[in-house]
Each structure stands twice: as C-alpha cells, then as structure tokens.
Structure 1
Amino acid sequence: MGLLSQLNEEMKTAMRAKDKPRLGVIRMALSSIKLAKIDNQKDMSETEILALITKMIKQRKESVTMFTQGGRDELAAKEQAEITVLEEFLPQALSADEIAQLISAAITQTGAASMADMGKVMAILKPQMQGKADLGQVSGQVRATLNA
C-alpha cells in the first residue's frame, strides 16, 4: 500500500474512532501533500511524500525545543504527540551498522576521495535513506569518513 493511500485509510480509521487529535495531524499531512502537489503541478512520488513528512517532523521537533525553553510544556506536549503520529508513517529506521555500510558502499561507488566529492556521495545516499535516517547526521558521518 502506498503512503498516500495509507494516510487516507488511517484518516478514515481515526474518523470512525472519533480520535480528533490523530485525525487533525493526518489531515494536516494530507493537506500539505495536496498543497505540494498543486505547487509542483504533478503527482508526488513516495520519496517526495517521505521527504515532506520528515520535514514536518523536523519542524515539530524544533517547536518542541522552543516551547520547552519558553516554559510552554503543554504546547511542547501537543507538538510531541503530533511527532508520534507522523513517525508512524515513516519506514523502519536504519541501524548505525546499516548506515555505515551504505556510506562505505556509496563512497566506493563514487570513488570519493575528498570533501569535494561529498555531494556525489550524498546524492546516492539521500534516496536510499530518506525517512529512514537523519540526513544531517549522515552527512556528518560522510564528512568524517572523507576527512579521515
């Protein structure tokens, strides 16, 4: 089942269960997907939908940090609940060993030898890891590997 159809099914389930908080988060995700579809004037691929959901999660994590620092724990808890719902639609996270193997395979495949080749390595890794790993941390690992 595709991610979009999974979201639609979960929306129906949340409606039947009268789970308003969950329903709101799913509707928000679906509306973001529809907006991006209109903006790009084409259907979104699974990878693009994953990237959009990952971006939504990242935004909410930043909000949790800001609300916590500002002493607004009730708003931080609301954002954290939204993160929990959105994370259900991401694929299984990669382990540290799997990430290391993918990085070394990409470096070998591109023949990367220095930081100048980092873009080539990340271009291979991004589609493989979208939604399965924090790409910011992955780029840090690639940078460390290329500098070593």
Structure 2
Amino acid sequence: MVLRTRISEALKQAMRDKDAARLSTLRLINAAIKDKDIDARAGGSDEGVPEADVLSILGKMTKQRMESARAYEEGGRLDLAERERSEIETIEEFLPRQLNEEETNAAVDAAIAEIGADSIRDMGKVIGSLKAKYTGQMDFGKVGPMVKDRLS
C-alpha cells in the first residue's frame, strides 16, 4: 500500500500548499480508488484493491484525460485542454516509468519465450504475463497488436 500512502501524503501537502488544481486531481484519484475498494468489499474482500489495480486505475485516468485534451483541442478549447494536461502530470507522478519501445519489445519477446507461445491462441497468456509484470509501465493498447504480429 505504498502507493496509497504516497497519494495521501501528496493530498495533505496540496492542502497545506493551498494548491487547488493539484488538490482537485488528487481527490479524484482517491475517489476512484475508494470506488474500487467498495466494489472489492462487495465481492467479499476486506482489504480493498491491490496496488496493481491502483496502477490500472491511474493508467485509465491518464488515458481518459489524454482523449479529453485531444477533444478540447479539436474544439478550440485550449484552456480546458491545458487543465487536462495538468491533471495528467499530477497522475503520472504516481505511475512507474513507462518502458520505451526497445524495452517493450524486449519484454514482449521475453514473455513469448517464457510461455513458449507459438500461435495466436497463446496471445491471452502472453498478455496476462505482461500485465502481471508491467502494469502501469506499458500501453497494452499498443502491446496487443505487437504480440499478435509476433505470434501470427
């Protein structure tokens, strides 16, 4: 739960600094995590979601804001696009470093070799292995086609 602690500390610091924009984003992050915790408790878990799920939540939040910023730019609302980018910066502080293209290729090759994947039927196993190891570090929207190309 180190990530949750970092988010809570950042929230407290934003309150002390009276940084309204950052505080708002951190509260959105906390709310999203608590929503998932509530869902997990309804499913029978007492401790909430694991850190990998928190990373997944942060990744989704970043992706949503990127899409919103793009839409605002196309609509000529640069002020709103800038606010979305500011939120992205705050969220990305809590995400691990993204793997570059070389590292992603190496990780995909390693996962295929580890599983012994030789056909497209093994794609789910490869993606599952990558998600277990690299959640929050790579864009699985781009990794999926990469794995598919290597297995076809």
Normalized against structure 1, the TM-score is what? Answer: 0.94
| Alignment correspondent of 2:28 | 28
- Alpha carbons 1:60, 1:83 under 8 Å: kept: yes
| Alignment correspondent of 1:59 | 64
| Alignment correspondent of 1:50 | 55
Q: Distance in 2 between matches of 1:56 and 1:10?
A: 17
Q: Distance in 1 between matches of 2:28 and 2:49?
A: 16
CA positional deviation for 1:18: 0.8
- Alpha carbons 1:129, 1:135 under 8 Å: kept: no
CA positional deviation for 1:112: 1.1
| Alignment correspondent of 1:96 | 101
Deviating above 6 A after TM superposition, structure 1's stretches of 4 or more consecutive aligned residues are none
- Alpha carbons 1:3, 1:46 under 8 Å: kept: yes
1:1-148 equivalences under 5 Å are: 2-41=2-41, 42=45, 43-147=48-152
- Alpha carbons 1:107, 1:121 under 8 Å: kept: yes
Q: Distance in 1 between matches of 2:80 and 2:101?
A: 32
CA positional deviation for 1:132: 0.7
Q: Distance in 2 between matches of 1:95 and 1:112?
A: 23
Provide structure 1 residue ranges, at least 5 long, that are not aligned to the other structure: none
Deviations 1:75-116 (A, max 9, x none): 111111100100010011223222222111111122111212
Q: Distance in 2 between matches of 1:143 and 1:129?
A: 18
Greater mean alpha carbon deviation, residues 29-38 or residues 138-147: 138-147
Provide structure 2 residue ranges, at least 5 long, that are not aligned to the other structure: none
What's the % identity of the aligned pairs? 40
SS at match of 1:92: coil
- Alpha carbons 1:15, 1:23 under 8 Å: kept: yes
Count of residue correspondences: 147
Normalized against structure 2, the TM-score is what? Answer: 0.92
Q: Distance in 1 between matches of 2:99 and 2:25?
A: 25
